[in-house]
Amino acid sequence: MTIASGTVREAAIAAPPPTSAATSPARPRKRRQLTRNRWGYAYVAPFFLVFTAFSLYPFMYTAWVSLHETSLSNINGGTWVGLENYRELLQSEFFWNAARNTLTIGILATVPQLCMALGLAHLLNYKLRGRTFFRTVMLMPYATSIAAATLVFSQLFGRDYGLINTMLEAVGLDRIDWEAGTVSSQVAIAVIVTWRWTGYNALIYLAAMQSIPGELYEAAEIDGASKWKQFLHVTIPSLRPTILFTIVVSTIGAVQLFGEPLLFAGNGTTSGGASGQYQTLGLLMYQQGWSNFHIGQAATTAWAMFMIILVIVGVNAVIGRLRARADR
């Protein structure tokens, strides 16, 4: 939590200066009047009440549960087993299988997605005819739910009647049993994720691109840089913080991947395919808790997921900071 909040906090703290610098020097006296206000607590109270009851407390409690052998109906404990659940988890082939799958699906889903979003944002940044239309249409998948998207795609990827196999056959290729293979099923799931999120990320990149000063491009053009060179040497470096941020957010999403593998076979099985070939950590956790009733194990898996997120976010934050320093 510390590392995670650290990065975002830095973001938040970086934000205010321009505005507050603009307002404060002119009216120091008036500002002071506004600063004394006990009502502040009343205003933030609803947020913190709900948040503490339904997020913070359960979050902490998950750690406690992970040290117990317990069942779903037993809120007050179960048997204390210490780190036994963690030991079991690290020795479990299911965990390592799920961790591996989460990693590969995560890479398959985020890398092409963010690259495409970047290219797409570049195109959307031109003075386009019908730009609102393009932007809106590209955000449509984001408005579609995981359940709906997965059900549709699982039909498109169907072995016998799926449209994708029909098309493959039409161009002379072999049909693929998308769900059965490890690589094929993971690619298919990554496609669903990519479909839903590319447009959204493109809009975020686009917003950041529009804040790049035009002079930078003019200067580059005077230096004789081609459009491609400008993209590489002006656009990408200017977007670096935004890119880093989308990487972090997509990674967190990828570690939690759940709905897509659950519904990919159409019927909500928690095993992630016949041989667990696309069982993710999220799915494993759900299976442990709600199919096998090993709630302590599920809590352990949840914490393992959180640890993975912390490590990834931490590594990204360090890389980001180093690169920022190198730029200076």
Instruction: Report d(CA 255, CA 248) in Å as an integer.
Output: 11
Torsion of CA 264, 107, 258, 261, to 10 degrees: 20
Q: Binder to other proteins among 79, 155, 275, 292 (CB under 8 A)?
A: 155
Residues 106-125 that bind other proteins (CB under 8 A): 120, 123-125
CB of 28 to other proteins, least distance (A): 11
Give the torsion sign (CA, 297, 302, 305, 306): negative
Tokens of 297: 């194990």
- Angle 177-179-180 from CA coordinates, rounded to 5°: 70
CB of 21 to other proteins, least distance (A): 9
Decide: is 141 part of the binding site for other proteins (CB under 8 A): yes
Residues 291/270, Cβ–Cβ less than 8 Å: yes
Q: At what angle do helices 182-209 and 236-255 cross, to 10 degrees?
A: 140
Decide: is 195 part of the binding site for other proteins (CB under 8 A): yes
* From 89-97, 99-107, 270-278, 292-300, span contacting other proteins (CB under 8 A): 292-300
CB of 93 to other proteins, least distance (A): 22
CB of 148 to other proteins, least distance (A): 5
Distance of CA 274 to the CA centre of its chain: 27
Residue 46, classed as helix, strand or coil, is helix
Decide: is 290 part of the binding site for other proteins (CB under 8 A): yes
- Write out the H or E segment, with its range, that includes residue 28: helix 28-35
Closest CA to 11 of 243, 208, 318, 245: 245
Instruction: Report d(CA 244, CA 249) in Å as an integer.
Output: 9
Decide: is 207 part of the binding site for other proteins (CB under 8 A): yes
Enumerate the β-bridge partners of residue 146.
Answer: none
CB of 256 to other proteins, least distance (A): 5
Tokens of 275: 């041989």
* From 104-112, 172-180, 182-190, 295-303, span contacting other proteins (CB under 8 A): 295-303
CB of 244 to other proteins, least distance (A): 8
198/279 with CB nearer other proteins: 198
* From 86-94, 173-181, 182-190, 302-310, span contacting other proteins (CB under 8 A): 302-310
Q: Binder to other proteins among 83, 90, 115, 152 (CB under 8 A)?
A: 152
* From 92-100, 177-185, 270-278, 301-309, span contacting other proteins (CB under 8 A): 301-309
Tokens of 119: 């290219």
Residues 7-66 that bind other proteins (CB under 8 A): 8-20, 23, 27, 30-31, 33-44, 46-48, 50-51, 54-59, 61-62, 65
Torsion of CA 244, 248, 251, 255, to 10 degrees: 170
107/265 with CB nearer other proteins: 265
Decide: is 200 part of the binding site for other proteins (CB under 8 A): yes
Tokens of 63: 């750690």
* From 80-88, 105-113, 146-154, 174-182, span contacting other proteins (CB under 8 A): 146-154
Q: Binder to other proteins among 110, 185, 246, 279 (CB under 8 A)?
A: 246
Instruction: Report d(CA 312, CA 306) in Å as an integer.
Output: 10
Enumerate the β-bridge partners of residue 79.
Answer: 69
Decide: is 208 part of the binding site for other proteins (CB under 8 A): yes
